[in-house]
Chains A and B, each alone.
Chain A
Amino acid sequence: MKPVLADFKPVAAPSRVLGWLAVSSVLVACASGLAAWRQQREVQTLRAGLVQSQAQLARQVLPLPPSPIQSKPYERSLREMLNERALPWPDALASLEALALPSVTPRAIETSAADGTVRVELTVTEPAKLMKYLDALNMGADKNANDLVWGLQQTQTDGATNTSVAILVGKRTTRAVAK
Chain B
Amino acid sequence: MKRLCTKGRGWAQPRVRVWLSGALARPFVLTPVAGLKGKVEARAMALAMAEEATGLEPGCDVCLDSVPKSAPALSVVTPSELRLEIAGIAKALRVNIESLRPWWAGALGEALASDARLELFAAQDTEAVTVLVAKENVWLSANTYTPNPNGVQLEALVTRRLFADGVETKAACRVRLDATLGNPSFWPKCRPLTSFSDE
Contact = CB atoms under 8 A, between A and B. Distances in A.
Interface string A1-30: 111111111101000000000000000000
Contacts of B83: 8, 10
B65 A1 contact: no
Contact of B105 (A6, A9, A10, A12): A6
Interface stretch (B95-103, B145-153, B156-164, B183-191): B95-103
Nearest to A4: B105
Interface residues of B, number: 32
Nearest to B101: A7
B144 interface: no
B112 interface: yes
Given A7-B63, A8-B61, A12-B96, A1 B132 contact: yes
A12 B121 CA distance: 33
Nearest to A5: B65
B78 interface: yes
Interface residues of A, number: 11
Secondary structure type dominating chain A contacts: loop
Contacts of B86: 10
Contacts of B112: 1-3
B97 A4 contact: no
B137 interface: yes
A1 B132 CA distance: 9
Contact of B65 (A4, A8, A10, A12): A4
A8 B20 CA distance: 10
B129 interface: no
Contacts of B78: 8
Interface of B: 20, 25, 27, 61, 63, 65, 74, 76, 78, 83-84, 86-87, 90, 96-102, 104-105, 108-109, 112, 118-119, 121, 132, 134, 137
Given A1-B108, A8-B101, A10-B90, 17 more contacts: A1-B118, A1-B121, A1-B132, A3-B108, A3-B112, A4-B27, A4-B102, A5-B65, A7-B63, A7-B99, A8-B78, A8-B83, A9-B97, A10-B86, A10-B87, A10-B100, A12-B96
